[in-house]
Chain A
Amino acid sequence: MSDIVLTNVQKNYGGKTALRPFSHTFEEGKITCLMGASGCGKTTLLKILAGFEAPDLGTVQGIPESIAFVFQEDRLCEDFSALSNIRMVCGKRKSKEEIIRHLTELGLKDEANKPVRTFSGGMKRRIAIARAILYDADLLLLDEPFKGLDEQMRKTVMDYVLRYTQGKTVLCVTHDEAEAEFMGAEIVHLAGKREEKVE
């Protein structure tokens, strides 16, 4: 593992700027919060780091082999249980007991075997977070991970994330400065608006 170095990374969609030229070094083992106005390219940046999108310009170096992602839309298999959703990505690396312990920490002990489609948005969010944490990746990408959680639960989940990401590189998109402060993260502001036309 090493630092992740982005040099003049830029992305456009159909002639519109999604991410203005961006350079930064994300230090290995540190938590960084990405902030900025809607449409400035925070999610695009995470997608580039995850390998879902290739930058139009610039270079990305130091991306580790294993990456976990908490997507804005959760991306859970709705017909399957919380337990299955986690096991399907962790395989045999994590025991059932360990998964249940994590779900218990997130207040989901009794929901482990119920199908995800029956859950509220906040519950789905917590399962998506537990899945990413239990995957044990070197790089954790979080796209507005605490959205939709009430104040009390938000603190519980932030504590949980902090506890299990010690020594890992974490990039978290947020609009809330208090969240960034709570997590003791470095804050990086992204500039620019998607509406700007590219020459």
Chain B
Amino acid sequence: MNKQKLYRGLSVVLALALWQVVAMKVNMEMLLASPVQAVSRLWAVIREPEFFSTVLYSFVRITLGFVLAFFLGLGFGLLAGRFRIVEHLLWPYVVTVKTVPVASFIILCLIWLDFTQLTVLIAFLIAFPVIYSNVLTGIRSTDQKMKEMARLYKMPWGKQLLYIDLPSVKPYLLSASMVSVGMAWKAGVAAEVIGIVNGSIGEKLYESKVYFMNADLLCWTVVIILINVLTEKLIVFLLKKIFAGVEKL
């Protein structure tokens, strides 16, 4: 274990200890459950029959929204990098999605859509502009000397995309994916809370608020964090594998 990991581990232990001390001082589970109470509640929640179906419900919808945002953000980003007109046409939508509060979208979606589609759409709306903007920045940062070389050797657009544009986009896409998957989870669960989506993690959070079950709130928060971290790691792993495959072409 290197020193940085050791220090991080120690800070987490310290933060948990501080939380435990504050919870003991407050001494009211309804206001602030202690980490020990949250973990024991988590253990109980995991063993409940609907736990996996609840997690799966939110996971499938948020991941679907993110995957849609990933492919559309990548596709439109590459197109906008190639054709300025695409960038101009998309500009009002991207700016709107970036600036309008997510709560406004959630309420609009609740008016227009079936609540089962809400999570997918909100996760998509939050992740799309991040991925699109980063892909576009990546394309714009492509070494112009490499583009000059490609033109000289009359490389078709597909080859330029594969050999010159994608390697430039790679670091931007990786960081955008890491950031936006977390944002998709936050916004997706927020949408489920506001929409009180049946059978979702958001519904569990809503119930914990209504019934003042602070330990439940914290244990579901831990579940969200864990799934979020795992999803992020999985996505980065898959992307690196795909890029490694492309580089072997």
Q: Name A residues whose Cβ lies closer than 8 Å to a Cβ of B.
A: 50-52, 66-69, 71, 73, 75, 77-81, 84, 88-89, 115, 135
Contact = CB atoms under 8 A, between A and B. Distances in A.
B145 A77 contact: no
Given A84-B249, A115-B247, A50 B163 contact: no
A135 B247 contact: no
B59 to A, nearest CB: 33
Interface string B146-157: 101100111100
B155 A75 contact: no
Contact of A77 (B146, B148, B248): B146
Contacts, number: 38
Residue picked from B145, B149, B167, most chain A C-beta under 10 Å: B149
A167 B149 CA distance: 24
A69 B153 CA distance: 9
B247 to A, nearest CB: 5
11 contacts: A52-B148, A66-B154, A68-B152, A71-B145, A73-B145, A77-B167, A78-B167, A79-B247, A81-B248, A88-B163, A89-B155
Contact of A88 (B145, B148, B152, B155): B155
A68 B159 CA distance: 18
On chain B, which size bracket covers the interface?
Answer: 10 to 19
Contact of B149 (A66, A71, A78, A84): A71
B158 to A, nearest CB: 11
Interface of B: 145-146, 148-149, 152-155, 159, 163-164, 167, 247-249
Contacts of A67: 152
A89 B149 CA distance: 10
Closest 9 CB pairs of A and B: A89-B153, A75-B149, A79-B247, A77-B163, A79-B167, A88-B163, A88-B159, A52-B148, A69-B152
- Secondary structure of the A contact surface, majority rule: loop
A68 B153 contact: yes
Contacts of A135: 153
A74 B154 CA distance: 17
B149 A69 contact: yes
Contacts of B149: 69, 71, 75
A84 B247 CA distance: 9
A81 B247 CA distance: 8
B249 A50 contact: no
Contacts of A89: 153, 155
Contacts of A66: 154
B152 A80 contact: no
A52 B144 CA distance: 11
A12 to B, nearest CB: 20
Contacts of A71: 145, 149
A81 to B, nearest CB: 8
Given A71-B149, A77-B167, A89-B155, 9 more contacts: A51-B152, A71-B145, A77-B163, A79-B247, A80-B249, A81-B248, A84-B163, A88-B155, A88-B159
Contacts of A77: 146, 163-164, 167
A46 to B, nearest CB: 11
